[in-house]
Amino acid sequence: MGLFDAVRNTFNRPSPVDQSSESDQPAARRDEPVEIVVPEIQAAELIPAYDAGDAPRLLDCRESYEWQQVRIPGSLHIPMNQIPRRLAELDPADEWVVVCAHGNRSFSVAGY
């Protein structure tokens, strides 16, 4: 099966919300991964929290060359490809906002 077939099959699956109970489902379907929902926030929504000193921590997952051009003061910079081996630097007790240039990388990193 090619990549596009796999993607098509992923998006053409029946909705996980249906009328049958979980015990009626075959084991393979119950064991499928759950879709991750990542809440989004705009920069303007964070400003009042920063002004009040009650802001979440920022994780900048852009590449180093992007970070060199523009930096967010106080953010932790870990490029996306380094996240798996540097997870210990992220305190799970903290609230984190993950940022990148367009949102694709931050969405992927938020899944960790």
Task: Let me know: does 96 contact 56? Beta carbons within 8 Å.
Answer: yes
How much is the pLDDT for 36?
75
List of residues 6+ apart from 91 with CB closer than 8 A: 57
* Stretch 79-91: mean pLDDT: 95
Q: 43-110: what CATH class?
A: alpha beta
User: Phi then psi for 82, rounded to 5 degrees?
Assistant: -100, -10
Q: Rounded to an integer, what distance in angstroms lies between the CA atom of residue 108 and that of residue 87?
A: 14
- The residue extents of the domains of the chain are 43-110
Q: If you average pLDDT over residues 84-108, what whole number do you get?
A: 92
Confidence bin at 30 (pLDDT 50/70/90): low
Strands 76-77 and 96-99: unpaired
Q: Amino acid identity, residue 10? A: T
Q: Is the pTM of this model over 0.75?
A: no
pLDDT value of residue 4: 45
**The pLDDT of residue 7 is above 80:** no
